């Protein structure tokens, strides 16, 4: 019985990890006042890059690294258009998603129908074999541990470091930050690339760990869920963690409910992850003033420095 | 003046004859990407076989990832306007958009897969009896399963899917009357991670055979990872589970697509409703692998019997899930009930979403 529970928890971790990574990256981007709707596109570019690299070199870790670089490079396109050329962020983000979905399909065409290289779970002698906790804490894939470290790192960076304060100030009022001598555009370039790198890694998780294969459109909307999580989590890293795991847990849980034969319509159960996540995050974000404080005031607004 | 008219007439004649030699255009609307390696992939193989068979006489076009909603109307009509002579819409819920577009474009031929509405004379419907393959799979599952429970990843509660589930359990029960089937609905045709999640949940709940009516190879990979057996869907997925796949139902659309496109070229296209199966070569079984020889022999025999018509999966006695009798001993289901199937037979451990 215990084994079943551990197996269920491991499935939840797998379902939540890509959402958590992508959402955390986007959180940093939005904290700096930029709305990048291209998460889905960057994610799938990461997925195809990771798969192709792992397939050619046989090394999934190299695949993940290339995915990170690809995500960051792809987001640079968005950064250049919206920051340097001051294009509309919403339209550019949507274009990035559409471009990513199409381009990845083209790049990946030769890889369709090939079983991929799996990034195996780590195996530490003694520790991994510990009962119950062994598998959870010392027996998952490296990207899972990276995702947890990422949330902690981002929370620490945003709220405990000077650089983090600068990012937040740029997001809250880019003109004030600019007046104080903070280089708004440079900071935003960096956060956008960080967001792209995270989305790329999330994609790598999909094509190397979750389902080690390449199929067109395999992100299937996860980039959009990550985007929604950021808003519902009112731009707090801890809440993104809660939201991502809640979504993952309900996704897995409802399949189990169906398999056991719970007498609830399946259509309702499959929509449950979305409903539950919205309800819970709305509840924890009830304190309006706190939400207002956390919302980046310059979100989505273009910035042209006056000289 | 006379000269001008003559020249005009001549050029019109040239244009007309040019029209006659113009290529016939066959267009396809797909629900997923051509690279799903499942349902859409097989339809696209069919499209390619049109090009291979008819060469210079045809050109083809396709649109991927067209949603199954009223939104499908726009791309279908865009195809109709752009000079497509025959349009294949390859998913169940394109039914109403296809019929609406057909009314507006009476000169274009429409072929709708897996549907049943033909509201104007330029709409045909076609489908394959995939359920025949499911019956063979059910028998194999009953022979191979140790727990006596198989898992079924289902997409939407439409007749085609329900038919597959029922046929599978009937096949299984013909070997082991107590065989059980757990069904999990994912409410999508194509979402590899979600399909993987569903497979994991089913395996954790004790099934040791996984079969699916969704379009990707994700479930096969999960089954391989967990060391149980699985069936491929729509295309041969053996590469994703060399030690896992028992067999797969392979959809062969090519012959039908070539035949219908040729009919348009020859001007012999007529409305029809066809439901081809194993006997017509539209439903093929992938090689029987990862099973003892006697099980493979049984599967081969069953498939042959279905092919020659001596065996029909929906032959009584069959009891519905609610305990009422559906078919008496020896009675075969009528076509209407099969096409509109909206109930489970006994042994399915699930409540059918309505």
Residue B121 scores a pLDDT above 70: yes
Block residue for tokens 């798969």: A51
Q: In the predicted model, what is the mean pLDDT of residues A87-94?
A: 96
Share of chain B above pLDDT 70, in %: 94
Please give the angle made by the CA atoms of A203, A299 and A288, to the nearest 5 degrees: 105
pLDDT of residue A122: 86
A67 confidence band (pLDDT: 50, 70, 90): very high
Chain A neighbors of B34, CB-CB under 8 A = 216
**pLDDT above 60 (res A237):** yes
Mutation target for A interface from B40, B62, B192, B233: give the one with most A CBs within 10 A.
Answer: B192
Q: Cβ B201–A259 below 8 Å, yes or no? A: yes
What are φ and ψ of residue A298, in 5° steps?
-95, 10
Mean pLDDT of all residues belonging to chain B = 90
8 Å CB contact of A259 and B205: yes
Q: Is the CB of residue B190 less than 8 Å from the CB of residue A220?
A: yes
Least confident of A120-134, B50-64, B180-194, B272-286: A120-134
Mean pLDDT throughout A159-180? 95
Subunit contact A258:B185, Cβ cutoff 8 A: yes
Instruction: Give the mean pLDDT of A65-89.
Output: 97
Contact list, B184 vs chain A (CB under 8 Å): 255, 258-259, 266
**pLDDT of A298 higher than 50:** yes
The C-alpha atoms of residue A101 and residue A218 are separated, in whole angstroms, by 9
Q: How far from chain centre, in Å, is Cα A144?
A: 12
The answer to whether the CB of A72 falls within 8 A of the CB of A190 is no
Backbone region of residue A181 per phi and psi (left: phi > 0; alpha: psi in -120 to 50; beta: other values): left
Helix ranges (H only) for chain B are 2-21, 39-54, 73-81, 95-104, 130-144, 159-173, 192-204, 218-226, 254-266, 293-307, 335-339
Q: Is the peptide bond before B317 cis (omega within 30 degrees of 0)?
A: yes
Alpha carbon A304 to chain centroid, angstroms = 29
Mutate to test the interface with B, among A254, A255, A265, A269 (most CBs of B within 10 A): A255
Cβ within 8 Å, pair A270-B192: no
Provide the mean pLDDT of chain A. Answer: 92
**Of A171-185, A282-296, B13-27, B281-295, the least confident:** B13-27
Higher pLDDT, B53 or B18: B53
Closest by CA position to B37, among listed B164, B177, B220: B220
**Residue of chain A whose Cα is closest to the Cα of B220:** A211
Residue B184 pLDDT > 70, yes or no? yes
As beta bridge partners, residue B249 has: B233, B285
B37 contact residues in A (CB cutoff 8 A) = 112-113, 215
Owner of token pair 């896992």: B244
Q: Supply the pLDDT for residue A307.
A: 57
Decide if pLDDT at A272 tops 90. no
pLDDT at B21: 55
- Of A114, A217, A221, Cβ closest to residue B239: A114
User: Which of A:207-226 have CB within 8 Å of B?
Assistant: 210-218, 220-222
Q: Which of B190, B197, B225 sits opposite A252 (nearest CB)?
A: B197
> SS3 of A172, please?
helix
Tell me, what's the pLDDT at B12?
A: 46
pLDDT of B19 strictly over 50 = no
Longest dimension (CA), chain B: 90
DSSP state of B332: B
pLDDT tens, residue by residue, B299-342: 999 999 999 999 999 998 999 999 999 999 989 988 888 888 99
Q: Quickly state the pLDDT bin for B151 (edges 50, 70, 90).
A: very high
Q: CB–CB of B151 and A252 under 8 A?
A: no
State the average pLDDT over residues A211-227: 91
**Residue A299 touches chain B, beta carbons under 8 Å:** no
Whether the predicted pLDDT of B214 surpasses 70: yes
Contacts of B151 in chain A (CB under 8 A): 259
The CATH code of domain A2-294 reads 1.10.3470
- C-beta atoms of A213 and B185 within 8 A: no
Query: Using a CB-CB distance cutoff of 8 angstroms, which residues of chain A are in contact with residue B35?
Result: 105, 108-109, 112-113, 214-216
Q: At CA B180, angle to CA B175 and CA B184, rounded to 5?
A: 135
- For the cut 50, the answer to whether the pLDDT of residue B6 exceeds it is no
pLDDT of residue B1: 43
Nearest chain A Cα distance for residue B149, angstroms: 11
Mean pLDDT across A79-108:
95
Contact (CB<8Å) B353/A210: no
In 3-state terms, what secondary structure has residue A131?
A: coil
Three-point CA angle B151, B152, B153, nearest 5°: 125
CA B61, B66, B71, B73 dihedral sign is positive
* A215 contacts B37? CB cut-off 8 A: yes
Task: Tell me what pLDDT residue A165 has.
Answer: 96
- Asked if the C-beta of A260 comes within 8 angstroms of chain B's C-beta atoms, the answer is yes
Instruction: Tell whether the model's pLDDT for residue A57 goes beyond 70.
Output: yes
Q: Using 50, 70 and 90 to split pLDDT, how confident is the model at B65?
A: confident
In this predicted structure, the answer to whether residue B14 has a pLDDT above a threshold of 90 is no
Going from the N-terminus, what domains does chain B have, and what CATH number goes with each? 21-129+253-280 (3.40.50.2300), 130-250+283-349 (3.40.50.2300)
The pair of structure tokens assigned to B102 is 């057909």
Which residues on chain B are in Cβ contact (under 8 Å) with A222? 193
Q: What is the pLDDT of residues A124-135, one digit of tens each?
A: 888 888 877 888
What residues contact residue A283 under an 8 Å CB cut-off, 6+ apart? none
Q: Cβ separation of A261 and B351 shorter than 8 Å? A: yes
- Per-residue pLDDT, A267: 82
pLDDT in the model for residue B350: 84
């Amino acid at each position: 019985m215990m084994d079943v529970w551990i197996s269920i928890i491991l499935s939840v971790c797998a379902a939540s990890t890509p959402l958590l990574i992508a959402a955390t990256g986007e959180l940093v981007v939005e904290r700096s006042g930029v709305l990048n709707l291209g998460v889905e596109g960057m994610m799938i570019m990461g997925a195809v890059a990771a798969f192709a690299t792992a397939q050619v070199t046989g090394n999934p870790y190299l695949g993940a690294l290339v995915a990170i670089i690809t995500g960051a490079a792809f987001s640079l396109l968005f950064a250049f258009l919206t920051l340097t050329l001051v294009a509309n962020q919403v339209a550019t983000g949507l274009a990035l998603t559409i471009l990513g979905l199409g381009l990845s399909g083209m790049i990946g065409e030769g890889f369709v129908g090939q079983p991929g290289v799996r990034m195996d779970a780590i195996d530490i002698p003694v520790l991994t074999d510990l009962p119950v906790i062994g598998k959870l804490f010392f027996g998952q894939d490296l990207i899972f541990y990276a995702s947890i470290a990422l949330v902690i790192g981002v929370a620490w960076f945003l709220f405990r470091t000077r650089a983090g304060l600068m990012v937040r100030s740029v997001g809250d009022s880019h003109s004030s930050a600019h007046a104080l001598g903070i280089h708004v555009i440079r900071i935003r370039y960096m956060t956008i690339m960080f967001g792209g790198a995270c989305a790329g890694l999330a994609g790598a998780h999909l094509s190397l760990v979750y389902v080690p294969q390449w199929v067109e459109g395999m992100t299937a909307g996860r980039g959009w869920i990550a985007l929604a999580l950021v808003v519902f989590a009112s731009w707090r890293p801890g809440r993104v963690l809660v939201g991502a795991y809640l979504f993952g847990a309900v996704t897995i849980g409802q399949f189990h409910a169906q398999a056991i034969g719970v007498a609830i319509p399946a259509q309702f159960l499959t929509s449950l992850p979305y409903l539950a996540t919205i309800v819970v995050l709305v509840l924890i974000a009830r304190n309006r003033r706190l939400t207002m404080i956390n919302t980046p005031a310059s979100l989505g607004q273009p910035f042209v420095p006056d000289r | 003046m006379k000269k001008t008219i003559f020249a005009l007439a001549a050029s019109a004649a040239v244009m007309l004859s040019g029209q006659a030699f113009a290529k016939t255009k066959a267009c396809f609307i797909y629900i997923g990407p051509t690279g799903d390696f499942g349902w859409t992939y097989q339809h696209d193989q069919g499209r390619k076989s049109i090009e291979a068979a008819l060469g210079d006489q045809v050109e083809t076009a396709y649109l991927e990832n067209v949603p199954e909603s009223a939104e499908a109307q726009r791309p279908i009509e865009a195809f109709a306007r752009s000079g497509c002579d025959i349009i294949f819409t390859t998913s169940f819920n394109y039914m109403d958009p296809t019929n609406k577009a057909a009314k507006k474009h009476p000169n274009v031929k429409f072929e709708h897969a897996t549907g049943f509405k033909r509201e104007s004379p330029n709409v045909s419907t076609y489908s394959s009896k995939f359920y025949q393959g499911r019956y063979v799979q059910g028998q194999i599952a009953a022979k191979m399963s140790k727990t006596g429970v198989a898992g079924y990843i289902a997409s939407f509660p439409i007749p085609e899917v329900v038919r597959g589930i029922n046929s599978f359990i009937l096949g299984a029960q013909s070997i082991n009357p107590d065989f059980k089937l757990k069904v999990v609905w994912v409410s999508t045709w194509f979402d590899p991670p979600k399909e993987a999640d569903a497979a994991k949940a089913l395996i954790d709940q004790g099934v040791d055979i996984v079969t699916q009516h969704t379009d990707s190879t994700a479930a096969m990979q999960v089954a391989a990872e967990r060391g149980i057996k699985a069936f491929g869907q729509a295309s041969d997925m053996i590469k994703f589970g060399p030690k896992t796949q028992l067999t797969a139902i392979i959809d062969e659309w090519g012959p039908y697509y070539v035949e219908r496109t040729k009919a348009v070229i020859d001007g012999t296209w007529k409305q029809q409703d066809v439901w081809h199966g194993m006997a017509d070569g539209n439903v093929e079984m992938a090689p029987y692998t990862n099973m003892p020889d006697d099980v493979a022999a049984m599967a081969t025999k069953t498939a042959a019997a279905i092919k020659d018509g001596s065996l029909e999966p929906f032959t009584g006695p069959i009891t519905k899930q609610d305990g009422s009798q559906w078919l008496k001993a020896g009675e075969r289901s009528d076509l209407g009930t099969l096409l509109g199937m909206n109930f489970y037979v006994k042994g399915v451990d699930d409540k059918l979403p309505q």
